[in-house]
Structure 1
Amino acid sequence: MKKLGLLDKAFLLTESRQTPMHVGGLSVFNLPRQVNEQEFLHELAAGLSNAQELQHPFGGKLKTSLLGLAGPAYWENDTALDMGYHIRHSALPAPGRYRELFTLVSRLHSTLLDRTRPLWEMHLIEGLQNRQFAVYAK
């Protein structure tokens, strides 16, 4: 087990439903030429889901004492990691502009991460105009 760092602990201690403290990143990509968007994203999700070894922090979940975050806290390997939970697929409503993308990402970002699981999510987002797709991770 790896000890939880001071910055991570501070973020978790100050987090609330009204003030999520996780960070997120959004990347937009052009689809490869002559590929079906849904098939491509399905294969991408399958490839990511089949990852065998995840480096810290992706394979670790939060472990605390009876004192919760007031006591010692550690990252513990999650031996029952469910990649299907962490890698998700979303579709934008038409017309698939950045406006719809940002609305979706705003909603996704506002929900707290499940502290009983490794603290990350990845969303593969289809339906952007101009044969683009997005990846949002938090």
Structure 2
Amino acid sequence: MKFYLLILCALFLSCSEVKNTEPITSQWEFISINGGERSEVDAKMLNNINAEYGTGTLEFKDDLSFSSLGSKNKSEGTYTLKNNILVMQYSNLPEPIKFNYSVVDKKYLLLRNTDGKKLTWLYKKSK
């Protein structure tokens, strides 16, 4: 009986971790960078387009690789997801970059930096 209870607990814990991590496998179009930590998308964020940041896309693939294609650069690397933390290891950078992330209405990706000035990057699903 204890064995079945242990299996049931393990299954419950593994399922709850899956619910905490939202999938981001897709191609995302860059929209804007916004001050502060944002968890919802509003009209101000959608219209906060600044030519200084350029345009670009982030593509997260099933094999845990990503590519970043922008008007100013092109990069690639690998990523991991756990408990709504995205860790991106760019191939041309020595240290990974960490973000808190969330997917809003299955069409927007919000990336919030974990270090330094509080900023939120807004992306819209393009594929």
TM-score normalized by the length of structure 1:
0.21
- The structure where strand makes up a greater share of residues is 2
TM-score normalized by the length of structure 2:
0.22
